[in-house]
Copies of this chain bind each other. A is one copy, B any other.
Amino acid sequence: MTEKPNGDGWLRTSVGGATPTSITVRGRDLPDEVMGRLSFSETAFLLASGRAPTEEETLLFDAVLTSLAEHGLTPTALAARFTYTGAPESLQGAIAAGLLGAGSVFLGPVEDTATFLHGIVAGLPDDGDDDASLANAATDAVRRQMDAGNRLPGLGHPIHTETDPRTPRIYTIAEQAGLLGPHLRLLRHVGSAFAAASGKPLPINGAGVAGAALLDLGFPPTLTRGFALLARTAGLIGHLAEEAESPIGMRLWREIDARAGDADR
């Protein structure tokens, strides 16, 4: 028996590790069992959950990541571009700056909706199998939120005021994949219950439907924001690739600064 510096084993990880001759992720040999066999999104699923997704899960997971990857010149894209303007040699800083704005206002609704839906489904006796009980639970939850003066997580969008184009597509793909689980179904009931109770329907937004789908894929609510960040990283790379080729940051700054100056000085 050799002395073990980590005898009680608390300092360990099962995410990944390396020896001189091997690299392992979640217990699998990286070169032999992952590279060339799993796609990047399947690997991300494996890294987060410890298991590889089925083909159907991959279809829905890819659709969710893709739906959240990019949304134009958002504040987060602008933060990344302005950071690149000042520090083009540190791409990691520009991407980090872009991710840091993914908080309560943007992308945060993915997790808010997931937390909301998860709390309701966890309280149901049948894990949400029965649609009638989902509908009842939605009606109750909507009333509680409205009575408390709260907005409904997952409903409404500043730009997509009638329909968020991502939403019906996720539902279609989830249905095709046989993965229209209790959280996605509940969210639809929440939308209907809110329309009935308020008289003014709001669309299910892309963040909300993504949160619901990630729950139906088996992830806990707290991880849903992580996947939104992974997805958005791809969009930020796109913006920074473009900023490197056709920069707008410097000129936009000069214009903003000059306008602020016109008013102020």
Contacts and interface: CB of A to CB of B under 8 A. Distances in A.
Interface of A: 4-6, 9-26, 30-32, 34-36, 38-41, 43-44, 47-49, 58-59, 61-63, 65-67, 69-80, 82-97, 99-108, 159-163, 165-166, 168-170, 172-173, 176, 220, 222-223, 225-227, 229-231, 233-235, 237-242, 244, 248-253, 256-265
A16 B234 CA distance: 12
B93 A257 contact: no
A225 B92 contact: yes
Contacts of A105: 85-88
B11 A35 contact: no
A160 B17 CA distance: 12
A20 B159 contact: yes
Given A6-B263, A238-B16, A82 B88 contact: no
Q: Counting chain B CB atoms within 10 Å of each CB, which of A43, A159, A220 scores highest?
A: A43
A17 B103 contact: no
B90 A90 contact: yes
Contact of A39 (B30, B41, B176): B41
Nearest to A168: B31
A108 to B, nearest CB: 7
28 contacts: A10-B251, A12-B264, A13-B77, A19-B159, A19-B265, A25-B69, A25-B238, A35-B166, A40-B62, A44-B69, A47-B238, A47-B241, A75-B82, A75-B250, A75-B253, A78-B253, A79-B79, A79-B80, A86-B101, A87-B101, A90-B103, A92-B93, A92-B225, A97-B100, A223-B237, A226-B240, A226-B241, A230-B233
B38 A66 contact: yes
Given A73-B256, A92-B100, 14 more contacts: A9-B263, A11-B256, A15-B235, A17-B260, A20-B161, A22-B165, A25-B69, A30-B67, A39-B39, A47-B70, A72-B257, A73-B260, A78-B79, A79-B83
A79 to B, nearest CB: 4
A176 B37 CA distance: 13
A163 B31 CA distance: 12
Contact of A233 (B36, B233, B239, B251): B233
Contact of A15 (B5, B168, B239): B239
Contact of A93 (B21, B31, B101): B101
Closest 10 CB pairs of A and B: A87-B103, A86-B101, A47-B238, A96-B96, A93-B100, A44-B234, A16-B70, A31-B169, A75-B82, A40-B65
